[in-house]
Amino acid sequence: MAVIGLGGLGHMAVQIAHAMGSEVTVLSQTLSKKEDVLELGADHYYATSDPATFENLAGHFDLIINTVSAKIDINAYFGLLTLDGTLVNVGAPGEPLSVNVHYLIGQRRSFAGSLIGGIRETQKMLDFCAQHNIVPKIEVISADQIDEAYERVLASDVKYRFVIDISTM
């Protein structure tokens, strides 16, 4: 399986997939987070800015989870799926993604979305994470750093979640 993006959602997806026994590949714009990727449990790491990535990994994945909340060319990733493979979108871009169905129907590929489970599913996930010592990587900030944190999010300068110390409010 592959995870697109190594941000707040992506770094958790890598840890959970690894704990579930999956061979995990991270697909990120650059290779700048390689050390983090391997520490989180990924087996492979490729830069999507390199066109060879899409050639070398064509038809490789049963499952791809897109955690990116920016607009990307989602169609480019459909070619990485196997026959009957599925790409699940969990990131929420601010503008619509354009999907070319021809990338789906020729290989019986699926495109799905997910937001969150109910209370029972959430509790199962929390229990699983506790059992496998899966925790988010966070940076605690004070309330007066919110504007700076927002700018850092836009610049992709977060590893991997900001948490606001409520006592500074």
By C-alpha distance, which of 81, 79, 113 is closest to 96? 113
**pLDDT tens-place values along the chain, 169 residues long:** 999 999 999 999 999 999 999 999 999 998 888 899 999 999 999 999 999 999 999 999 999 999 998 889 999 999 999 999 999 999 988 899 899 999 999 899 999 998 878 899 999 999 999 999 999 999 999 999 999 999 998 888 888 899 999 999 8
Residue 32: C-alpha distances to residues 77, 97, 124, 156 (Å): 21, 26, 33, 11
Cβ–Cβ < 8 Å for 21, 40: no
**Are residue 76 and residue 88 in the same domain, yes or no?**
yes
Counting the structural domains of the chain, the total is: 2
pTM of the complete model: 0.91
b/e map 74-103, b = 16+ CB within 10 Å: bbebbebbeeebbbbbbbeeeeeeeeeeeb
* Residue 123 to residue 90: CA distance in whole angstroms: 19
**Are residue 32 and residue 82 in the same domain, yes or no?**
yes
By C-alpha distance, which of 1, 46, 38, 3 is closest to 23? 1
**Are residue 57 and residue 87 in the same domain, yes or no?**
yes
**Are residue 119 and residue 160 in the same domain, yes or no?**
no
* Residue 69 to residue 95: CA distance in whole angstroms: 9
3-class state of residue 17 by DSSP = helix
- DSSP letters spanning 48-67: TTSHHHHHHTTT-EEEEEE-
**Are residue 88 and residue 162 in the same domain, yes or no?**
no
Residue 93, amino acid: P
**Are residue 66 and residue 128 in the same domain, yes or no?**
yes
CATH number, position 100: 3.40.50.720
Print the domain residue range for 83: 2-133
